Amino acid sequence: MIQSQTVKTERHFQRFTRLERIMHILMIISFMSLALTGMTLKFSYTGWAVILSHVFGGFQFAGYIHRAAAVVMFGIFVLHLYDVVFTKRREYGSWKALLLGPNTMLPQKKDLQDFKDSMRWFLGRGPRPQYGRWTYWEKFDYFAVFWGIFVIGSTGLTLWFPEFFTNFIPGWMLNVATIIHSDEALLATGFIFTVHFFNTHLRPEKFPMDLVVFTGRMPVHELKLDKPAEFEKLKADGTLKDYLVEPYPPVVIRAIRVFAWAALATGFMAVIWIIYAMIFAYR
Ligand code: HEM
């Protein structure tokens, strides 16, 4: 009883800015739309794709939704690059501090060590590593989006504007682009809805769901447990208090949960569809 009261009134640590949270929500909506409409087109000969196509207003309209969602995704990407430049100016002062400091998203030696120590920990042969602000799997997920935008986005554009691109590339490359776009998209969808979902929501420390990317904040005791190196650093340099905020009221959390559960459920359904389509219906 005493403990639950402590947790309830505990102040929270601000991990994500408002813009980052909005971008992640838009990313979820655009990615889900792209994945569902894309799979409906790819597996158009299956019964469930026909049902989904009715939801989207027909196969042709699924293609329009796909393109609109792609524009949103490109927009988020550009906005994120702008935000990185802005964050560098506002918080770090130099590229060196942003890219080589303790909060960097770039892979560091510590990430390799954390990875090895994590394997030992999984096997019960060592303690949980002292993860910092960004763990090795969070960095991997972050750069996977860059790779995806580059590979899926560029091939998607060639499918969208074939007349324009065939001014520069031979026609057969459009066939190659379709295969790359289609299979890489399937890989991305499979990865996000299994590995990313597991790492963020289903691992024992966070099960069944981590709301931090929606609320932007987490209880301080959770920061201490989950990202001990970051907690110790903030405590040591006396800046932890600058990040302390009040938790959201329960009604806001409930609304967020509804959205997050809907996204998780859609993702899991998509995985089941992909597995079914690959095993029983692939042409
Ligand atoms: C972000 C930029 C993207 C652009 C510009 C783009 C564009 C396109 C276009 C123009 C098509 C052809 C649609 C039609 O026939 O009407 C297509 C098909 C497809 N897209 Fe995308 N797309 C993008 C991202 C994605 C993503 C993120 C996914 C999945 C996660 C995805 C999955 C698919 C699939 C599975 C198909 C069907 C391919 C096939 O027929 O085998 N796309 N895309």
Summarised one tens digit per residue, pLDDT across range 182-213 is 999 999 999 999 999 999 999 998 999 999 99
Distance 201 CA to ligand 1 centre (A): 27
Residue nearest to atom 10 of ligand 1 (CA): 160
Q: Give the ligand 1 atom nearest the CA of 192.
A: 30
Helices (H), the chain: 2-9, 18-42, 47-56, 59-87, 95-100, 109-122, 136-148, 154-160, 162-165, 172-191, 197, 212-215, 220-226, 228-236, 250-276
Map out the domains of the chain as residue ranges: 17-101+135-215+248-281
Residue 25 has pLDDT above 90, yes or no: yes
117 CA to centre of ligand 1 in angstroms: 39
Whole-structure pTM value = 0.92
pLDDT of 1 > 50? The answer is no
Res 22 pLDDT > 60: yes
Could you tell me the CA-to-CA distances from 153 to 165, 197, 254 in Å, in that order?
A: 14, 22, 34
- Residue 82 has a pLDDT of 97
Hey, what amino acid is at 273?
A: W
CATH number for the domain formed by residue range(s) 17-101+135-215+248-281: 1.20.950
Question: Tokens 């403990």 belong to which residue?
Answer: 3
The pLDDT of residue 8 is 54
Residue 235 CA to ligand 1 centre (angstroms): 46
The bridge status of strand 244-245 relative to strand 217-219 is unpaired
Q: Is the CB of 267 under 6 A from ligand 1?
A: no
How far does the centroid of ligand 1 lie from the alpha carbon of residue 72, in Å?
A: 13
Atom number in ligand 1 closest to CA 149: 1
Compute the distance between CA of residue 228 and CA of residue 232 in angstroms, rounded to an integer: 6
